[in-house]
Amino acid sequence: MKILVAGAGAIGSVIGGFLFKTGYDVTLAGRGEHLRRIRSRGLDITGIWGNYNLRNIATIEPQDLPAADTFDIIILCVKSYDTLDAATMYAPLLKQNGVCVSFQNGLGNMEAIASVIGDGRTAGARVIFGAEVPDPGTVRVTVYADQIVIGPFQQKNNLCKGMLEELAMLLETSGIPSYYADDVYPHLWAKMFYNCPLNPLSAIFKLTYGELVKNKDIVSVMDDVVKEAHSVAKAMGIVMPWEHYTDFLDLFYAALVPSTADHRASMLQDMEKGRKTEIDALNGVIVKYGHELGITTDVNATLARIIRAMEHHHHPPAFASQIRGT
């Protein structure tokens, strides 16, 4: 099985690196100094899952695509706002019976992929470990909260179940806990309940997750974010394991935050590097769905506006055209 990891940033490099070190046929796709360092000096992985120097990993950049090979699986790890462009760019590299799997933050990614690849060849994954790129060519695994869960975009039109099950097995064998589920949506929404309170507040206050929960006023805001998101999920018919939002909060404060207490949100890292954030695929999409359903999402809307304002304030030339109201 040939696997392309499209978007070899922090998470993509860890996924691709672990598959490669176990002997699987992996190619990393991306651009910039990080990929060039991997190509010339190898990939260094450090952190809680061990230290590895991985040399001779195959890499491709956009200019290489016309001559690139085709792949059974494309693991898409780009930022959510680049999903449609990336799916369009890499679609010609997917074999006729292949599958493209979103390993991304937020909601709406599978819909964008399916518009290019097709419903039956689109899948998603709940990824809830943390990583960062401290230097080009190096990734550090910082925290781990739970297993990767992989499942199809549509249960009734799942043309690649066997391939998705095999991908979960390959990841598990490589050392990244993973499993397949016929219905991935409850897991994606559970990650929303986790990301939507933590990402924007970490970016606003420049605090780790563990530092955030030490402030009772911040905790109150996080509670309200989850309450709104849970109401939207229930109205959309998502079958969640928590009947009441407080049941999730019990898990959130007792297990999920403590296991990722030292993590600095990817949204904070994006802000510090002058990049656009994924706020529209997180709190922003909660607001969008809430508006469509007639559900009030004022706290999520306020956080989304603050993050967009921060983007605009720090980077007006690059982001001015991307600021839009909720």
pLDDT bin (cut points 50, 70, 90) of residue 312 is: confident
The pLDDT score that the predictor gives to residue 71 is 97
Measured in degrees and rounded to the nearest 5, phi and psi for residue 92 equal -65, -15
The whole-number average pLDDT for the span 30-51 is: 96
Neighbours of 109 (CB within 10 A): 27
Q: State how far the alpha carbon of 98 is from the alpha carbons of 25, 112, 115, 133, 166, in Å.
A: 15, 17, 15, 30, 12
The pLDDT score that the predictor gives to residue 167 is 98
pLDDT bin (cut points 50, 70, 90) of residue 273 is: confident
In 3-state terms, what secondary structure has residue 68?
A: coil
pTM (2 d.p.): 0.91
Residue 109 has pLDDT above 90, yes or no: yes
Contact 131, 263 (CB under 8 A): no
Q: State how far the alpha carbon of 275 is from the alpha carbons of 11, 52, 140, 271, in Å.
A: 16, 28, 20, 6
Residue 326 has pLDDT above 50, yes or no: no
pLDDT bin (cut points 50, 70, 90) of residue 325 is: very low
pLDDT bin (cut points 50, 70, 90) of residue 317 is: very low
The whole-number average pLDDT for the span 210-237 is: 97
Question: Catalytic annotation on 214?
Answer: no
The whole-number average pLDDT for the span 8-37 is: 96
How far apart, in whole angstroms, are the C-alpha atoms of residue 21 and residue 12? 14
Neighbours of 69 (CB within 10 A): 12
The whole-number average pLDDT for the span 22-34 is: 95
Measured in degrees and rounded to the nearest 5, phi and psi for residue 324 equal -145, 150
The whole-number average pLDDT for the span 135-154 is: 95
Contact 204, 307 (CB under 8 A): yes
- Which position among 21, 191, 234, 288 bears the catalytic label? 191
Fold of 2-182: Rossmann fold (3.40.50)
| Mean of per-residue pLDDT scores for the chain | 93
| Torsion, CA 53, CA 59, CA 62, CA 66, rounded to 10 | 180
Q: Do domains 2-182 and 186-322 have the same CATH topology?
A: no
The pLDDT score that the predictor gives to residue 314 is 65
Helix locations, 236-261, DSSP H: 245-251, 257-259
The pLDDT score that the predictor gives to residue 315 is 55
The whole-number average pLDDT for the span 219-239 is: 97
* Token pair of 56 as six digits: 């001779």
Report the share of the chain in percent with pLDDT over 90: 87
pLDDT bin (cut points 50, 70, 90) of residue 316 is: very low
The domain locations on the chain are 2-182, 186-322
- CATH assignment, 186-322: 1.10.1040.10
DSSP 252: I
How far apart, in whole angstroms, are the C-alpha atoms of residue 87 and residue 214? 40
Contact 145, 129 (CB under 8 A): yes
pLDDT bin (cut points 50, 70, 90) of residue 65 is: confident
